Structure 1
Amino acid sequence: MTHRPRHLLMGACAFAAVLMTAACGGTTIDDAQDSGGSGPTGTADPNAEIPEGLKIDFLPKQLNNPFFDIVNTGGTEAVEELGGTATERGGTEATADSQVEYINAASQAGSDVIVIAANDPDAVCPALNEARDNGAAIVGYDSNANCTDVFVNQSSTELVGRTLVEMIAEDLGGEGTFAVLSATPNATNQNAWIEAMEEVLAEDEYADLEMVDVVYGNDDDLQSFQEMQGLIQAHPDLDGVVSPTTVGLAAAARYISDSEYKGDFAVTGLGTPNQMSEFVHDGTVDQFALWNPLDLGYLAGYTGAALKAGQITGAAGETFTAGRLGEFTFETDGEIVLGPPQVFNADNVDDFDF
């Protein structure tokens, strides 16, 4: 259902009562390898065998994050198919300092591959470079660092940014104001998507849609909930929010679902179906998007193994097979793309289980 901007609804209340129904709401990713990553080196041998017993470590932005729990389940699936051992390492806070500690632990444990969703594009690099010197291949996923060998991108930056703008535009009927509830201020993927959104918003089609603020919940549920509350207080005429992080989107939806703004306020962004289904069915959220996080981790696991085995270097034009996902091609140096985002709504949200 199309949202009318909340300030218009409030104005209409002076003349008639508003019917309250159930209707509502982890670089620049594409440029990471160009800004300091090690990039493709050597010559690939697509026929090289992946050795059994590879030790592959997954370092999410933080542990106990529902999104990364699913991503790393997919990564473990891939590593076990290849006869290796998968280890998940990390802290409960989404900080670069925490990740450095676990990068060092993985390196000291003799990791063959470190797969990381970086909380900062640069702060983790000294530790990652040292791990590479110790023999580890370095793969970025979800949110890249400027020193990875290759990056597994869940989707292109432009596609994610455009999808987010299209959803909030549809929810608001093409006009109104919205804010962004992001993860951490230095999250490379979040910042890239927000920049892409700004570029799309500059198009004539979105002249009546305005992004008025960006706040950060640091991928913490309570802090994200409080930031959502703060946005409403800071912008009384705000019509919607876009949260390009699963933790932030769920927190924003929970706040709006229990508030007087439910039905008049658009909530959209990136989330998992299991996490967001209740808010779709209760009318808080019309639509949201995401790629399949299980497949993201799975692809990252296979990419890391292929890189370590020498099947790929990450050079543009190289191809490799990632198990059940089939063949992938590096369209640009150092980056492989999983695919476009999937949009979820009341018609399909229950068809997915992740």
Structure 2
Amino acid sequence: MKLGLAIALMSATLLAGTAYAAEKRWDGADDLPVNPLACSAGEASAAPAAKPYDGGQPTNAPDKAGKPISLVDVPKLIGIGYFNATTKGMQDAAKALGNVAAKTDGPTEAKIDEQIKFIDNYITSGVDGILFAANDPVAIAPVLKKALSKGIHVVGYDANSTPNAREWFVNQAEFNGIAKAMIDSMANEAGEDKSFAIVTSTFTTPNQARWIAEMWAYAQKCHPKLKWLETVEAQEDNNLSFNQATTLINKYGDKLSGLFGMTSVATPASAEAVTKAKLCGKVAVVGLATPNAMKPYVNADCVKSVVLWNPVDLGYAATYVMRAVVDGKLKPGATSVEAGKLGKLNVVNGSEILLGAPFIFTKQNIKDFDF
């Protein structure tokens, strides 16, 4: 987290995070205020305060309400199952809307410098809207602000930027909801007093940093005997994720009882490392991943819980949000937006559109999903 943003949020952190200030946050977490959910359904949770709209606005955007528009989607990287699924959702939405042309283009590695180049090129070539999933929330901001200054609409999904660099962000699930699902699953599978490690992409990737921060807060509140060992970076790379998980297994031996995978690449790679080490049933793997990538490990009883949402729906929602923005149907101060077959989606946290609650794939239901 950059110093300026941290200072700006210091007072909010003191108010929202006082109970969690005594112990250092796990590596890979950010320093924003946290709002851990209740430990059980019978407890009351503190609701976050409503926030005014905090997104940016384009300069002199042309009036294309109801007219055909061209969109480009620049995700963290292309060629992996997760973003293939979000792309499918965007194409489904474009077809349903009938007046949207959308394409996905981006780097083949999750590198922010490359992502910025792709966005800059599309600003030059000309599009009506840019969809993005950020590799770094701060580093991507200048090029997104450049797009806004050129009258191009900007909507994020999956991984946010600083709010004023885009108009809206489609959040797949609230960060504290994912944190609760992840930590509860680990405590249930590994044990309340066991030790775990985390395989993430980078310490600056915005969604994973938020999840880890909320996991830290929720664990302290609801599972205080769980022990964090280490967080390692794996760059959304399958081989590196496998190697990092294997290194953690070898480094900590019997002390390691669980691995969290924070990406759709890290989770199956961690499961493969546990399988190769013949530790299924001894080292729990809990993480975020697409069901198709996890079916072999779930069906082999090496993984019991996969936490996610439907990325096809996420891409679909992002496209509908962009269309609503262009049409003037989604403006600052709105409380909801219509998203086709998904129905009405709510606005939260000022300028975020919430897709819904996280979903847990298990051996009983994973066969029903194909993405």
User: Same fold by TM (over 0.5)?
Assistant: yes
What residue in structure 2 maps to residue 211 of structure 1? 228
Question: 2:204 corresponds to which residue?
Answer: 186
- Taking the aligned partners of 1:50 and 1:336, their CA distance within structure 2 comes to 21
Match of 1:109 among 114, 125, 132: 125
Counterparts of residues 133-148 of structure 1 (less than 5 Å): 133-146=149-162, 147-148=165-166
The percent of aligned pairs where both chains have the same amino acid is: 31
- The answer for the alignment partner of 1:320 in structure 2 is 337
Q: CA deviation at 1:37?
A: 5.9
Mapped pair 1:222 → 2:239: yes
Residue matched to 1:348: 365
Any unmatched runs of 5+ in structure 1?
1-26, 43-47
Counterparts in 2 of 1:16-55, with a 5 A limit?
38-39=55-56, 50-55=65-70
Of stretches 336-345 and 126-135 in structure 1, the one that deviates more from structure 2 is 126-135
- Counterpart of 1:224, as a letter, is S
Corresponding position of 1:78: 93
- Letter matched to residue 278 of structure 1: P
* Structure 1 residue 39, shift from structure 2 partner: 4.1
Name the Cα RMSD after superposition: 2.3
Deviations 1:138-164 (A, max 9, x none): 111000001111110000011011111
What TM-score does the superposition give when structure 1 sets the normalisation length?
0.85
Compute the displacement of 1:296 (Å).
Answer: 0.4
Once the two structures are TM-superposed, the CA of residue 178 in structure 1 deviates from its matched residue by: 0.5
Q: Is the 2:148–2:166 Cα contact (8 Å) retained in structure 1?
A: no
Match of 2:295 in 1: 277
Letter in 2 for 1:229: T
* Cα 1:216/1:29, change in 2 over 3 Å: farther
Where does the alignment leave 5 or more consecutive residues of structure 2 unmatched? 1-29, 35-47
Q: Which has the higher contact order (CA 8 A, sep 6+)?
A: 1
Q: Does 1:250 align with 2:268?
A: yes
Q: What is the distance in 2 between the residues matched to 1:323 and 1:245?
A: 28
Which AA in structure 1 matches 2:108? Answer: T
Q: Matched residues in 1 for 2:140 and 2:57: separation? A: 20
1:105-143 Cα deviation digits (max 9, x unpaired): 221222111111000111111111111111211111000
Residue 40 of structure 1 deviates from its aligned partner by: 6.8
Rounded Cα–Cα distance in structure 2 between residues aligned with 1:85 and 1:259: 47
Measure, in 1, the Cα distance between the counterparts of 2:330 and 2:100: 18
Aligned to 1:335: 352
The alignment's TM-score, normalised by the length of structure 2, stands at 0.81
* Local SS of the residue matching 1:165: helix
Cα deviation for residue 65 of structure 1 reads 1.6
Give the residue type in structure 1 aligned to 2:55: S
| Residue identity in the other structure for 1:168 | M
Contact 1:144 1:151 in 2 (8 A): yes
Which residue number in structure 1 is paired with residue 104 of structure 2?
88
Secondary structure in 2 aligned to 1:202?
Answer: helix
- Tell me if structure 2 keeps the 8 A contact 1:314–1:335: no
Q: Distance in 1 between matches of 2:270 and 2:54?
A: 35
Q: Which residue of 2 aligns with 1:11?
A: none
Distance apart, 1:77 and its partner CA: 1.4
The residue identity in structure 2 corresponding to 1:56 is L
Per-residue CA deviation, residues 187-214 of structure 1 (Å, 9 max, x unaligned), is 10000000000001111x4122112111
Partner Cα separation in structure 2 for residue 208 and residue 111 of structure 1: 52
* CA shift in 2, pair 1:241/1:314, >3 Å: farther
